[in-house]
Amino acid sequence: MHRRSSLLRAGARLSVVVVSMVTVVTGGAAAEGGVHSISGPVAAISQAVRGEQVQLAPAPTMPACARVAVVGDSLTAASRSSLVSELDRAGIDNVVDGQVSRRIPAAVRDPYSGVSATRRIRATWGEADCWVIGLGSNDLESGADDPILAARWIDEQMAAVTPGARVWWINVYYRYEAGNAFDFPSATAVFNGVLAQRAAGDPLLVVLDWFSLVEMNPGWLVDGVHVRAEGYLARTDLTMGALPR
Give the pLDDT score at 58. Answer: 59
Higher model confidence: residue 146 or residue 49?
146
Calpha distance 199→242 (Å, rounded): 15
Give the pLDDT score at 55. Answer: 57
Give 196-207 pLDDT, tens digit per residue. 999 999 999 999
Residue type, position 99, single letter:
Q
Q: Are strands 17-21 and 43-47 parallel, antiparallel or unpaired?
A: antiparallel
Give 173-197 pLDDT, tens digit per residue. 999 999 999 999 999 999 999 999 9
Calpha distance 157→118 (Å, rounded): 8
Give 66-82 pLDDT, tens digit per residue. 999 999 999 999 999 99
Give the pLDDT score at 61. Answer: 79
pLDDT above 70: percentage of residues in the chain: 76
Give 126-156 pLDDT, tens digit per residue. 999 999 999 999 999 999 999 999 999 999 9
State the DSSP code for 75: H
Assign 3 a pLDDT band (cuts: 50, 70, 90).
very low
Provide the whole-model pTM: 0.77
Q: Is residue 139 within 8 Å of residue 151, measured between CB atoms?
A: no
Nearest to 136 by CA among 196, 81, 178: 196
